Amino acid sequence: MAFVATKESGFRIVMIDDFKIPRGAILITGWHGLGEVGFLSTAHLVRTLDAERVGFIKSDMLPLFVSMENERLVLPFEIYSYEEKNMIFFVPRFQPHQSEQWGFIEKLADWIVEQQFGEVLLLGGLDASFKEDEEEMRCVPTEAYKDKLDKWSIPILEEGLFVAGPLALMLAELEIQGAPGMGILTYATRGRPDPRSAATMLEKINEVFGVKADTDQLIEESKEIEKLEKMRKSIEADTDPSQMYL
């Protein structure tokens, strides 16, 4: 393994077998924001495209958790490659610790610029209560990405609405450094994971890049979550004191 340090800090990118990022690659990532759309979409792309794990990120406040997936140990921050389409995925299974989010995102953006990615796609959710038309998503491009917008056919986020969290920090850093990045936000339900919204995201990525990320599992997960949500609301209504008397 090779250690790639960006600035003098506890932030390190560890590449397996000296893996080199192909110049002009597409970086895709998503965080645990509204509906967990970004993380669900990115993690499912990695699974369904059978991407290869090629690296990890270490930081000063690395979450103290690991888990198993497909009989293999998985770490909090992992990097995957899908060589067929020159795609790199960064999968953050946790948010960076609040106290180091600015530094983490800044150093990640530095690395992105150093590696000369052709485009950076930041996946996330947008509160469905703001939806006013038939469009399923909005985008937030950096100035350097605007010449690539036509292939997406996604409306730009309306003025007055805000992007928040690590996705917002990343967009700000990419804009400051003149990198070609875009936030893609699908409308999602607040307060619970929304796999249906993540499936909408994957369908658009399939369309634009000609990949075949299967969304059936996400749709099934969405149906199950929606069923549980209806049951929860029904139980809450049944136990609501205001509903006990006529």
Type and span of the H or E element at 108? helix 101-114
Q: Per-residue confidence at 44, pLDDT binned at 50, 70, 90?
A: very high
Q: Per-residue confidence at 197, pLDDT binned at 50, 70, 90?
A: very high
Q: Please, what sign has the CA dihedral across residues 87, 30, 215, 153?
A: negative
Question: Cα–Cα distance between 215 and 186 in angstroms, integer?
Answer: 15
Q: What is the mean pLDDT of the chain?
A: 88
b/e 47-56 (16+ beta carbons within 10 angstroms → b)? bbbebebbbb
Sheet of strand 87-92, all strands in order from the earlier edge strand to the far edge: 2-5, 12-15, 52-58, 77-82, 87-92, 26-30, 119-127, 181-188, 137-141
Coil, helix or strand at residue 99: helix
Q: Which percentage of the chain shows pLDDT scores above 90? A: 67
Q: Please state the pTM of the whole predicted model.
A: 0.87
pLDDT digits (tens, 9 = 90+) for 47-84: 999 999 999 999 988 888 888 988 899 999 999 999 99
Asked whether the predicted pLDDT for residue 29 surpasses 60, the reply is: yes
Q: What is the pLDDT of residue 96?
A: 87
| Interstrand relation of 26-30 and 87-92 (parallel, antiparallel or unpaired) | parallel
- In the chain, beta strands by DSSP E: 2-5, 12-15, 26-30, 52-58, 67-69, 72-74, 77-82, 87-92, 119-127, 137-141, 181-188
pLDDT digits (tens, 9 = 90+) for 106-163: 999 999 999 999 999 999 999 999 898 999 999 999 999 999 999 999 999 999 999 9
Q: What mean pLDDT is predicted for residues 72-97?
A: 94
Q: What is the pLDDT of residue 241?
A: 44
Domain boundaries, the chain: 2-214
pLDDT digits (tens, 9 = 90+) for 2-26: 545 454 457 999 999 999 999 999 9
Q: What mean pLDDT is predicted for residues 33-49?
A: 93
CATH of domain 2-214: 3.40.50.10900
pLDDT digits (tens, 9 = 90+) for 147-190: 999 999 999 999 999 999 999 999 999 999 999 999 999 999 99
Question: Cα–Cα distance between 164 and 92 in angstroms, integer?
Answer: 17
Question: Cα–Cα distance between 61 and 103 in angstroms, integer?
Answer: 11
Tokens 């917002």: give the residue: 168
